[in-house]
Structure 1
Amino acid sequence: MAPYQIRQYQERDHKQVVDLFSRGMMEHVPTTFRYVLLLPKTLLLLFVMPVAIVLVSGSWLLAVVCFFFLLLLLRLLARQPFKEYVALCLQTDMADITKSYLNAHGSFWVAESGGQVVGMVGALPVKDPPLGRKQLQLFHLSVSSQHRGLGIAKALVRTVLQFARDQGYSDVVLETSIIQQSAIALYEAMGFQRTGNYLETGIIKWLIEFSIIHFTYPFPSAQKHEL
């Protein structure tokens, strides 16, 4: 595997960054589908509906068809939050990364290997941080599937942390979904602390219990200053 370097985003990276972001988000769909299948309300639905059809119609064939239809529906529901998020980002911050990040007192970095963008991460100041805090928010950490396990994600996060230190921020914050267990493990291993969680709004996200976890990385100097 070719070595990689982390550098600031350039306009010529846009297509590769967008492709990496889109692929990375949609990779979470199978995991989300498996997660949804194990929810108690999902298991109940998959049991009750076919049984009810058998009791009403007496047809096992219709019950089997219903079961597979429900599986297909759940697969579509698992895909929807990520599809909506990608579409939203491509119309907002990811439409013009230079304007959204580099020209907004934040930054955006890519990991490059063999002339290809294989990783990415962005950061922006939090507009309304808690009183007495100056916070930087991490966005869109992603590494291509072929380049995982090389420490690229850690290096990208360290780049954000170093940028925050250099700019005098007291905290780095981020949000990730309960589905992204590898990302959660990475953040916790690097010293981020869980500081809250909430369920995404919307009937589909409520049905699949799409929980969002908020993480904070407080710099020791900022903690001492508060004391």
Structure 2
Amino acid sequence: MAPFHICQFQERDRKRVLVLFSQGMEEHISATFYHTLMLPRTLLLLLGAPLALVLMSGSWLLAILCTFCLLLSLWLLARYPWRNYVDTCLRADMADITKSYLSGRGSCFWVAESGEQVAGIVGALPVKDPLLERKQLQLFHLSVSLQHRGLGIAKALVITVLQFARDQGYSEVVLITTNIQHGAVGLYQGMGFQKTGEPSKIILSLLAISRIHFMYPLSSAQGKRL
């Protein structure tokens, strides 16, 4: 595997960046489906509904069709939040990456390149909240292609964001991920990010997906060690 290097986004990278971003988000569909499938209420529905049909109609064919329809509905439900998120971003900040991330000093978007391929991406934007007493930078869209994982690219991209934030005078780096993204949660915790607040449910309660807020304090000794 070719070594990688991290550089600022350029317009020539746009198509490859968008493909990597979309594919990275769609990977979570299977994990969401399995997560939802293993919920007690989902298992109860998948067992109870077909059994009720058999008891009422005596038809195992109807029970099988019912199970198939329930599983299909569950897959479409698991697909919805990720496809919706991708579509929303492609109409918002990812529609014009240069304008969204490179038009000011306090924001940036980076690409990890390996050979001729875009191996990873990450962006960062200032948190615009007049009530905040601290200057925060928010990390967005960290993603690494499947064939380039295990090389330390994700960690290197996060370190790039942290160093940028320190150079720009930010006091904290914040981000939001979900309980479905186990690899990301493990990465952030291993790098010293701290969970802030209680997880909050998002999208559909049936999916039991929770937002997890992380914060990295750059002004602390912890931040200075990086």
TM-score tier by shorter-chain length is: over 0.9
**Which residue in the other structure is 1:208 paired with?**
207
| TM-score, structure 1 normalization | 0.94
**Which residue in the other structure is 1:28 paired with?**
28
Secondary structure of the equivalent of 1:213? strand
> What is the CA-CA distance between 1:222 and the residue it aligns to?
9.0
Amino acid of the structure 2 residue aligned with 1:90: L
| TM-score, structure 2 normalization | 0.94
Secondary structure of the equivalent of 1:163? helix
Amino acid of the structure 2 residue aligned with 1:61: L
8 Å Cα contact 1:170/1:222 also seen in 2: no
Cα deviations by residue, 1:184-208 (Å, 9 ceiling, x for unpaired): 000000000111321114xxx2221
Amino acid of the structure 2 residue aligned with 1:164: A
Q: Which runs of 5+ in 1 are unaligned?
A: none
Higher mean Cα deviation, 147-156 or 31-40? Answer: 31-40
**Which residue in the other structure is 1:89 paired with?**
89
Amino acid of the structure 1 residue aligned with 2:202: E
**Which residue in the other structure is 1:191 paired with?**
192
Secondary structure of the equivalent of 2:196? strand
Residues 140 and 129 of structure 1: CA distance in aligned 2, closer, same or farther (over 3 Å): farther
Amino acid of the structure 1 residue aligned with 2:205: W
Q: Partners of 1:77 and 1:218 in 2: how far apart?
A: 36
4+ long deviations beyond 6 Å? none
Q: Partners of 2:15 and 2:132 in 1: how far apart?
A: 39
> What is the CA-CA distance between 1:177 and the residue it aligns to?
1.1
Cα deviations by residue, 1:58-86 (Å, 9 ceiling, x for unpaired): 11121111112111111111111101000
Cα deviations by residue, 1:131-165 (Å, 9 ceiling, x for unpaired): 32110000000000000000000000000000000
Percent sequence identity over aligned pairs:
66
Residues 200 and 66 of structure 1: CA distance in aligned 2, closer, same or farther (over 3 Å): same
Residues 129 and 46 of structure 1: CA distance in aligned 2, closer, same or farther (over 3 Å): farther
Secondary structure of the equivalent of 2:120? strand
Amino acid of the structure 2 residue aligned with 1:99: K
8 Å Cα contact 2:193/2:216 also seen in 1: yes
8 Å Cα contact 1:198/1:211 also seen in 2: yes
Amino acid of the structure 2 residue aligned with 1:211: S
Amino acid of the structure 1 residue aligned with 2:192: G
Q: Partners of 1:129 and 1:143 in 2: how far apart?
A: 33
Residues 91-106 of structure 1 aligned to structure 2 (within 5 Å)? 91-104=91-104, 105-106=106-107
**Which residue in the other structure is 1:169 paired with?**
170
The alignment covers a number of residue pairs equal to 221
> What is the CA-CA distance between 1:129 and the residue it aligns to?
6.4
Q: Partners of 2:186 and 2:68 in 1: how far apart?
A: 34
Secondary structure of the equivalent of 1:220? coil
Q: Partners of 2:210 and 2:151 in 1: how far apart?
A: 28
Q: Partners of 1:222 and 1:132 in 2: how far apart?
A: 20
Secondary structure of the equivalent of 2:94? coil
8 Å Cα contact 1:53/1:59 also seen in 2: yes
Secondary structure of the equivalent of 1:185? helix
Residues 129 and 137 of structure 1: CA distance in aligned 2, closer, same or farther (over 3 Å): farther
Secondary structure of the equivalent of 1:103? coil
8 Å Cα contact 1:198/1:213 also seen in 2: yes
